[in-house]
Structure 1
Amino acid sequence: MSLTKPNQELKSDLKEAAAVLKWSGVDLFAISKRLLDAGDEIGADELMKIAVSYQATEDKLTAYADEVKAGVIKRIKTR
């Protein structure tokens, strides 16, 4: 099934947002490790929590993009 242009854009936007979260999480993990190595366990733990939440949100956005592709979610035209 081919997607309408708005749904293609929605799928693409969701995938792009997921990728941004993924790489931001990767960066946060790296910074967290440096903080931990420097002895800042509290700062490292806080960044790890944020990175994990990014990963969970990335997974949701990827699943939504898959649902758009499958036709389960459709973009509604507004205005």
Structure 2
Amino acid sequence: MPLTKPNQQPRRDPKEAEALLKWSGVDLMQAAVRLSEVGQEDEAKELMILALSYQAMEDKLAGYADEVRVGRINRSKPE
């Protein structure tokens, strides 16, 4: 069953945020590797922790988008 127009945006928003978090996490991991290579392991570790938290939120947002897709979450008119 296709999504209704009011429910397309609630699915699209988490998917866009998920993609943004994914690529930001990739960038943070690359920066962490560079920091580690120059001997700044403490700073690298902090970036890795942040990147992992991005990944956890990315997974949550993917779950919300899937719930919208299957109709468990939907936008209806206020009563």
Moved over 2 A (4+): 75-78
Partners in 1 of 2:37 and 2:7 — Cα distance? 45
Which residue matches 1:14? 14
Unmatched 5+ residue regions in structure 2?
Answer: none
Which residue matches 1:66? 66
- The residue identity in structure 2 corresponding to 1:22 is K
Which residue matches 1:56? 56
- Go from structure 1 to structure 2 and tell me whether the alpha carbon gap of 1:4 and 1:35 turns closer, same or farther (over 3 Å shift): same
Deviation at 1:77, TM superposition (A): 4.3
The number of aligned residues is: 78
In angstroms, what is the RMSD of aligned CA positions?
1.1
In the superposition, the TM-score normalised over structure 1's length comes to: 0.93
Identity rate of aligned residues, in percent?
A: 59
Unmatched 5+ residue regions in structure 1?
Answer: none
- Go from structure 1 to structure 2 and tell me whether the alpha carbon gap of 1:76 and 1:48 turns closer, same or farther (over 3 Å shift): farther
Partners in 2 of 1:34 and 1:3 — Cα distance? 43
Partners in 1 of 2:11 and 2:74 — Cα distance? 10
